[in-house]
Structure 1
Amino acid sequence: MRTKLMQKQKMSKRGFTLIEVMVVTIVMGILAGVAVPSIFGLVEKSREKVDLTKLFYLRDALNRALLESEDILYNNASVADATLEKALKSETGVDLFILEMRPDLPGNVQNRHSNINPGSEMSKLVGSSGVWYNALKEAGFTGVADILIARESGNAWKKDGETFYSQPYTDSRGKTDYRTYPKEQLFISRLLNRGKEAGPKQGQTNYRVRVSFQWSRMDEHSRSIEVALLPAGKKMWQKSGRGSALVSDHGVCFSTYGPAGCADYKY
């Protein structure tokens, strides 16, 4: 009896074999490979939703101003009233500014760009005061407002401002250019800081979206503004009843229209 008891005690103290350790290690590796990306995906999706919230802040700031006066958006001599009204009722909307991203450099706020909205003059709406300027500042886009003013004022954007940085860099042609971005971080998600990977046809790492505004559902009688991030060639809201704003790989649709604002929305 005593001999059997001693044998059992020895077996309980023998520990794990090498094969058992290897099996456990493999299982843990598989679990980590599944769980870790999922956790990071949830974190990134949460960041994207925070960024989306800023678009709602911007929309609400403009709509609160509209409660005071239906004509308040037009108080800017730099853009003709008829031009602004036509743009607000169009499928593409009003492109107030461009957000340019790439993995190796800070984000770049531009007033317009030939590759995404050639000929647009709508950044002039911001001016140095008025409803557009105030809405940007109220919604946490202060640096953006000042960048647009500087970019519309000669070479003022080629040096740091009170609320933004101007960083020189060498472009693909070997020339010096500048990237302007707010001192207070604009967005926190990876997508809106690094952008999506450029396809082989583009041959570039820059990724640009237009920050656009439109009368809700393009209704000429509407006096409610919507906001969206639009990639090149995309429309904010179409007569067919859907928009084609930026949608992330995690299913976040960057449009205040909600899921209907993104044609590629799959969730």
Structure 2
Amino acid sequence: MIRVSSFNRASENNRRKKGFSLIEIMVVIVIMGVLATVGVPKLFNVIEKTKEKTDLMKLYYLRDALNKALIENETALTNTVTAKKMNDEQFQKLIDKMYEGFKYERGATLFVIEVHNGLSVNVQNSHSSANNTYNVSEILGTSGTWCDALREAGFEGVADIVADRIKGTYKKETDTYTSFSWNDANNNNAEWQRTAPKKPMFTSLALNKGKKNENTRYTMSARWTDVNHPGNSLEIYILPNGKKWNQAFFTDNGTCFSTYGDKGCNGR
């Protein structure tokens, strides 16, 4: 009896050492699937929201660089070498338009950002389906206050792209940006140029990849913090076409791309 009992216990131990049963493995797989379904999207959203907040900080850097220049010199914003050769009268009209834009409900447009689900981000000086009422992209120039502020805020190459686009010259590659041609299937296969800084402007999907396989356009815009007391400080925001200053780009993760803070999106 003792020998039989010992044999039975040994046999049972051997069966246990063989591993999990098929049912046990299936239960584990189901549990892992449920956890992945719930956990992975949440983790992805957390990562994306962090990237969006990082991108938002670049708008604050740009704002602070411009406002610092304003504090040091109230005419600092006119310190620029424009992309076009202008006489005094033309340049003054551009400056006047800039200051009018700072009071406008949409603000003054600095440059255009295009995002596309299947293509790289595209930077332009203007576009017919973007905010163009007070487009002052020429003010960026290739040197001066605006160009310096863009570089300081991490937007290297933007001023160079804008300058070359205004002149109608597209270079395949420069020290600061790259360019390539593409055919737009949604517009009779027309050929267009996409230009982007070598150093990416943004890290989030929201500002690198659109939701559609066609261009979605936003404008980098500037406006007085308080239009009733102009000249004190500027705010910077990314604006969908046709929207007002308090309807800035608002992501699915709840990020408002405006240095006005929450009120920059309270009219959306």
TM-score > 0.5, shorter chain as reference: yes
Query: Unaligned regions of 5+ residues in structure 1, if any?
Result: 199-203, 237-242
One-letter identity of the residue aligned with 1:223: N
CA contact (8 A) 2:98 2:134 kept: no
For 1:228-255, what per-residue CA distance to the aligned partner results, in whole angstroms no more than 9, with x for missing partners? Answer: 111112111xxxxxx1111111111111
1:71 positional shift: 2.2
Provide the residue aligned with 1:162 in structure 2: 175
Judged with a 3 Å threshold, the aligned counterparts in structure 2 of structure 1 residues 231 and 9 are, in CA distance, closer, same or farther, namely farther
Please name the residue that 1:94 is paired with. 108
Q: Tell me the equivalent position of 2:221.
A: 212
Say which SS state the counterpart of residue 100 (structure 2) adopts: helix
Work out the CA distance in 1 between the residues paired with 2:166 and 2:181: 18
Q: What's the counterpart of residue 194 of structure 1?
A: 209
Larger Rg: 2
- Aligned-residue RMSD, C-alpha: 2.2
Q: What is the CA-CA distance between 1:83 and the residue it aligns to? A: 2.1
Letter in 1 for 2:240: P
Question: What is the match of residue 60 of structure 2?
Answer: 56
Point out 4+ residue stretches in structure 1 off by more than 6 angstroms.
none
- Which one of the candidate residues 23, 27, 51 is aligned to 1:19? 23
1:142 aligned to 2:151? no
Q: Which moved more, 1:125-134 or 1:108-117?
A: 125-134
Counterpart pick for 1:247 among 247, 250, 264: 250
1:124 aligns to 2:138 (yes or no): yes
Find the aligned partners of 1:258 and 1:9 in 2 and give their Cα distance.
71
Aligned residues of 1:108 and 1:181 also touching (Cα < 8 A)? yes
- Equivalent AA in structure 2 for residue 261 of structure 1: G
The 1:5–1:71 alpha-carbon spacing in structure 2 relative to 1, beyond 3 Å, is: farther
Partner of 1:240: none
1:175 aligns with 2:178: no
Q: Which residue of 2 aligns with 1:201?
A: none
Counterpart of 2:44 in 1: which secondary structure? Answer: helix
Distance (Å, rounded) in 1 between the aligned partners of 2:135 and 2:221: 13
CA distance in 2, matches of 1:4, 1:217: 90
Measured in 2, the distance between the counterparts of 1:164 and 1:26 equals: 48
Measured in 1, the distance between the counterparts of 2:48 and 2:227 equals 32
Q: CA deviation at 1:4?
A: 5.5
| TM-score, length basis structure 2 | 0.86
Aligned mate of 1:113, from 127, 140, 145: 127
Would you say 1:43 and 2:47 are equivalent positions? yes
Q: For residues 170 and 114 of structure 1, what CA distance do their matches in structure 2 show?
A: 18
How big is the shift at 1:96? Answer: 0.1
Q: Does 1:232 align with 2:235?
A: no
- The answer as to whether partners of 1:79 and 1:124 remain within 8 angstroms in 2 is no
| 1:54-109 C-alpha deviation (Å, 9 max, x unpaired) | 11111111011011112221345264433222210121111100000102111110
How many pairs does the alignment contain? Answer: 252
Of 78, 83, 89 in structure 1, the residue corresponding to residue 97 of structure 2 is 83
Matched position secondary structure for 2:68: helix
| 2:67 counterpart letter in structure 1 | N
Give the distance between the partners of 1:8 and 1:218, measured in 2 at CA.
87
Query: CA shift at 1:7, angstroms?
Result: 4.5
AA aligned opposite 2:178:
Y
